[in-house]
Amino acid sequence: MAAQDPCPLCALREQQATLTAESIRKAAEAQPFISGLTTPAAEYERRLAACSSCPSQQGGILCAECGSYTAYRARLLKATCPYPAGSRW
């Protein structure tokens, strides 16, 4: 009898369970700086600081308002903060 392929959703859940705020931030920061696409370092740090004190941040990783990884959203130059009471950055 052949082994069944794992459920894609189960595999994703297992992978996400190993993610940490540090591992996501390192992965986001490993992306090269591209003028006009990625946020300069000082602005990126300012955005992350705003996210870290936001009541909508979940587990230091996700934005509860949009569902994105905060480290990646903050890295994108044209991304905006989706906080309902107004952008925090």
* Helix H or strand E encompassing 26: helix 21-29
Per-residue pLDDT tens over the stretch 26-83: 888 888 888 999 999 999 999 999 999 999 999 888 999 999 999 999 999 999 999 9
Positive/negative CA dihedral, 73, 71, 50, 20: positive
Strands (E), the chain: 57-58, 62-63
Cα–Cα dist 5/12, whole Å? 13
Q: How far apart are CA 33 and CA 75, in angstroms?
A: 9
Reported pTM? 0.75
